[in-house]
Amino acid sequence: MFTLKKWCSALLFLTAFGLAGPAAAWVPSGTQSIILDGRDGQSITIGTVTFTPGADRIGIAVQLDHTRLQDFFLSMKEFKCLDTPDEVFCHVPYPHTNPASVTADDLAWLEHALLFFYKAPSDFGAKLWNGVYYKLRQTERGLIGTPQAIDLNQIGAPPDNTATPPYGPGERSEMAPGARWFGTLRIE
């Protein structure tokens, strides 16, 4: 006889091993929080991204919370930064015209809206060659980004094709786990 207790145990087993069917996929919609997870275990909500459905793509609008970020004047330019014990971590807005939209399979323009660089607190000026690109992937709760290394000097001049994101897989390289103070970026 299949009792309620046995039924619950079977369902728990199937769920634990992903055999009960696919989990509900997260759908980018509405306004979601942008959260950086620090090496010290603390999470900082630095802003929001608003997803607006369109005919073929979903529009994105990133809004940083400037009360959470400090102003740093580096290399004759103002940056919005987080000052951590190990590094100063600064947002770099993508400076050129772009579609500002995504699909479920193409999050590149959202990744480009969330570019950063880091520098040691004692370093002088912006260190744009120390760029950080968060490669996003979907989870049940939202998006999670893993840092990759890029050279932000590459976007100093407008690209030939403004519809193609400049930081493709060939322009990014992996970072060792724990290399950056903010090892994860989440959107949920």
pLDDT digits (tens, 9 = 90+) for 21-53: 445 567 788 999 999 999 999 999 999 999 999
Neighbours of 6 (CB within 10 A): 10
Low-confidence ranges of the chain (pLDDT < 70): 1-25
Q: Show the 3-state SS of the chain.
A: CCCHHHHHHHHHHHHHCCCCCCCCCCCCCEEEEEEEEECCCCEEEEEEEEEEECCCCEEEEEEECCCCCEEEEECCEEEEEEECCCCEEEEECCCCCCCCEEECCECHHHHHHCEEEEECCCCCCCCCCCEEEEEEEECCCCEEEEEEEECHHHHCCCCCCCCCCCCCHHHCEECCCCCCCEEEEEEC
- Domain ranges for the chain, please list them: 25-187
Q: How far apart (Å, rounded) are the C-alpha atoms in residues 162 and 37?
A: 31
pTM (predicted TM-score): 0.85
pLDDT digits (tens, 9 = 90+) for 65-85: 999 999 988 877 888 999 999
Q: Which pLDDT value is given to residue 26?
A: 74
**CA proximity to 128, closest of 142, 120, 117, 139:** 117
Q: In sequence order, what are the residues at sequence separation of 6 or more whose Cβ sits closer than 8 angstroms to the Cβ of residue 174?
A: 148, 149
**CA proximity to 135, closest of 180, 95, 97:** 180
Where do we find the tokens 């994860």?
A: 184
Q: Which pLDDT value is given to residue 24?
A: 56
Using CA atoms, how far residue 71 sits from 82, 83, 94, in Å, is 9, 10, 18
Q: Which two tokens stand for residue 132?
A: 């950080």
Using CA atoms, how far residue 85 sits from 8, 165, 186, in Å, is 47, 32, 21
